[in-house]
Amino acid sequence: MTNKEFTPEEEQLIEQAFQNLLAEYAKTPHTQRVERITRAYEFAKKAHNGVRRLSGEPYMLHPLAVATIVVKEIGLGSTSICSALLHDVVEDTDYTTEDIRNLFGDKIAQIVDGLTKISGGVFGEQASEQAENFRKLLLTMSEDIRVVLIKIADRLHNMRTLGAQPKQKQYKIAGETQYIYAPLAHRLGLFPIKTELENLAFKYEHPDMYAEIEAKLAVSKASQIENYNQFIAPIQDKLTAMGYQYTISARIKSVYSIYKKMFSKSIPFEEVYDLLAVRIVFTPKEEITEKDQCWMIYSALTEIYRPHPERIRDWISTPKANGYEALHVTVMGQNGAWIEVQIRTNRMHDIAERGLAAHWKYKTGEGEESELDKWLRTIKDVLQHPAEQNALEFLDTFKLNLYAHEVFVFTPKGDIKTLPQGATALDFAYFLHTALGDQCLGVKVNHTLVPLSYVLKSGDQVEVMTSTSQHPQPEWLHFVTTAKAKECLNNYFRKEERAYVHSGEKRFNDALMLIKAEDCRDMALQRMLNHYKLVQPNQLYLQIGEGAIRLDNMSSIIFPKKSIWKKVQQLNPFTHTSSSTSSDMSSMSDTVNPSNPLPKGHKIELTDENLGTIFHLAPCCRPIPGDEVLGYLADDGKMYIHKVECNEALLLKSSQGKRLYAASWKTNRIQSYHETIHIQGIDKPGIFIRVLTIITTDFNINMSGIHISSKDGIFQGTLDVFVYDKKELEDLFVSLKKIPELTAVQRIEHS
């Protein structure tokens, strides 16, 4: 950010943005508190006066844009609008949370405080500041959900203006967005925002692929519109004859959604057939339930088109945990393509578009608790013992709760419970109560005893059997998938571990007294650590407490029988060399060639000379020249190169942004890289010889392994090849795909 006086034109731009905000607010059903919003605007404008964003525009336009998203796209009221206008004041100016409280009250001050980044970490210097900020945000979210809704609006505007940021900052922000904010928006029912966040993150991480898919979508748009008009014509006639007021709209698959399908199924754009979906939103008639009317429209629709028997989704009888309700059916269109149709009432559509704000608007009774209310209540369960986790563990634990799919199971009394897909019988026990989980002796599903690792299915009836003599076992951590169950087990084992550590330390001190060595405790402790190849004293105390290390030979370890001179040397702890690590990650003299130091800034070039010496290709994803990559400065001082889409890189982008470097290739086809290719096709005589001829003769590519199998006229297998870069691999694929019998040729991605 920079400071520079605003021009009259810029002042007018700020005022116009504020008037647009008020115009959007006036369209809402909220009680109009314009004076309050105006005071917040004037205060924020004064606080940010003269400050500019990296793009050069006045900074005040950012909080105005966030406030407009809050009211227009999420549907919140004046408290949230004021908080959005003020959300950066405490962080970026000399004003404090107390100033906000005095001027605007406790609630707005609490929300603004929750939106203000922390300074420093509470877990020590090695903790990730990004993960700490997420943690603070979520802790405040458990008190007031508006904190996270405004934060999502803030992130959406930052993503819309991300082009002004340097490349490594784009990686960091896009990675955070993909890892936590998009799933969070989805979990809170903000589907349009979730889709836009995913698209923008993908755009900045894979700009070339994004542009390619976007261009192909534009080319296919005309035919999609023609198919849509043909498809909906008979539906419109039917709904009109039934006397409904309705709207029908087309929903084209998002660029990111198309990419995910291409990537997961290893297919080209041309083979993604479900680009088009159709949405019917209708005004229900008063004398019939919404559920019955949705099924009546479904019945009318299936009189026109044949439904896919396995692709009916009833989210009306049992809404999703984020409040989403609709009836989905996939039918065969006129041109032989499957088309998904979503059937919703106006109320369901409002909740689907605006999530929480609309969800609360339609609540009918104080005692009513939806699945979304229950999920928000469980947030506090996850946050019960925050001090015992480091920030990254906390982030991973919370992310486990951002599941998109659920299963619905029943208690013995017939109460329905919603759990994430993949939840086990032991997860269910912890879901009901921590004590039930800790004392779980066994579980019956549909009156039959099952293993604790049994994966629950919708419709299962589950009964938990307990015993007061039962306690959690370490292997249980392999049986659970939900955040709450993992957190409960980790808390139990941490408490148990602390007890062992305390016991082990006491036994160590008692043993020192027994051999009269308490005066040289530090030396004795170091000798014991060296002998058992341990680093931390607590590791030693834990093993002593558990009985894994006995102390009956402690004297011989501390005072080995050697010459008097060596004994004197050993009694002096300063004669021992020990490995030390620098806390300053900017110093890499131990690991980086001094003649090729890292450049200043966060940009690096990968050459044939520095690969393998200064920069190391990450073994998890094994990038090759031409792949979109980034650099990560690890704790050991080495720079590792990851593919941008690597799962490990995704976590690093969301939690270690300050250690990331934008990386580009500058290699000269000197070094070759191992890649594995998957091929599949029709097994005809000579087909494999043609494949090998193209690889070894036409491209002169070396091979190190061939694994081929054939069954029922179809062959498939893998080929291990050595290529110089991604372009050579892609050129090879183009040539191989010209063989008509080959149905699939793809690179096996490592992630």
Residue 100 confidence class, pLDDT cut points 50, 70, 90: very high
Taking 50 as the threshold, does the pLDDT of residue 576 lie above it? no
> Would you say 717 and 706 are in contact if contact means Cβ atoms under 8 Å apart?
yes
What is the reported pLDDT for 594? Answer: 35
Taking 70 as the threshold, does the pLDDT of residue 131 lie above it? no
Task: Answer yes or no: pTM beyond 0.75.
Answer: no
> Is 287 an active-site residue?
no
Please state, in angstroms and rounded to a whole number, the distance separating the CA atoms of residues 653 and 655: 6
Dihedral angle over CA of 595, 599, 605, 610, nearest 10: 20
Taking 80 as the threshold, does the pLDDT of residue 412 lie above it? yes
Which residues, at least 6 apart from 404, have a Cβ–Cβ distance to it below 8 Å? 183, 186, 187
Using H for helix, E for strand and C for coil, what is the string for 426-471? HHHHHHHCHHHHHCEEEEEECCEEECCCCECCCCCEEEEEECCCCC
What is the reported pLDDT for 299? Answer: 94
- The more confident residue out of 546 and 489 is 489
Taking 80 as the threshold, does the pLDDT of residue 564 lie above it? no
What is the reported pLDDT for 392? Answer: 55
Residue 535 confidence class, pLDDT cut points 50, 70, 90: confident
Taking 60 as the threshold, does the pLDDT of residue 595 lie above it? no
Percent residues over pLDDT 70 in the chain: 83
- The more confident residue out of 595 and 684 is 684
What is the reported pLDDT for 407? Answer: 78
Residue 375 confidence class, pLDDT cut points 50, 70, 90: low
Residue 559 confidence class, pLDDT cut points 50, 70, 90: confident
Q: What is the pLDDT of residues 451-486, one digit of tens each?
A: 899 999 877 889 999 988 888 988 898 889 888 888
* Burial (CB count <10 Å: 0-12, 13-18, 19+), residue 144: middle
**Strand-strand pairing, 660-665 and 603-606:** parallel
> Is 92 an active-site residue?
yes
Residue 297 confidence class, pLDDT cut points 50, 70, 90: very high
- Of 10, 11, 92, 129, catalytic: 92
Please state, in angstroms and rounded to a whole number, the distance separating the CA atoms of residues 129 and 167: 20
Provide mean pLDDT across the span 649-669: 84
Taking 60 as the threshold, does the pLDDT of residue 10 lie above it? yes
> Would you say 172 and 181 are in contact if contact means Cβ atoms under 8 Å apart?
no
Helices (H) and strands (E) in the chain, counts: 29, 21
What is the reported pLDDT for 597? Answer: 45
- The more confident residue out of 320 and 661 is 661
What is the reported pLDDT for 394? Answer: 56
Three-class DSSP category at 628: coil
**Strand-strand pairing, 629-633 and 639-643:** antiparallel
User: Tokens at residue 614, please?
Assistant: 């200064």
Taking 50 as the threshold, does the pLDDT of residue 583 lie above it? no
| Least trusted range by pLDDT, from 19-28, 419-428, 516-525 | 516-525
User: Tokens at residue 593, please?
Assistant: 């060639």
Taking 70 as the threshold, does the pLDDT of residue 577 lie above it? no
- The more confident residue out of 468 and 266 is 468
Please state, in angstroms and rounded to a whole number, the distance separating the CA atoms of residues 313 and 282: 18
> Would you say 575 and 558 are in contact if contact means Cβ atoms under 8 Å apart?
no
Taking 90 as the threshold, does the pLDDT of residue 635 lie above it? no
Taking all residues of the chain, what is their mean pLDDT, rounded to a whole number?
A: 82
What is the reported pLDDT for 138? Answer: 63
Taking 70 as the threshold, does the pLDDT of residue 504 lie above it? yes
- The more confident residue out of 230 and 186 is 230
What is the reported pLDDT for 271? Answer: 79
Please state, in angstroms and rounded to a whole number, the distance separating the CA atoms of residues 95 and 92: 8
What is the reported pLDDT for 578? Answer: 36
Q: Alpha carbon 608 to chain centroid distance?
A: 34
- The more confident residue out of 651 and 688 is 688
What is the reported pLDDT for 5? Answer: 76
Helices (H), 242-319: 255-265, 290-304
Percent residues over pLDDT 90 in the chain: 32
Provide mean pLDDT across the span 727-736: 92
- Of 91, 237, 510, 730, catalytic: 91
Which residue is associated with the tokens 């659970």?
480
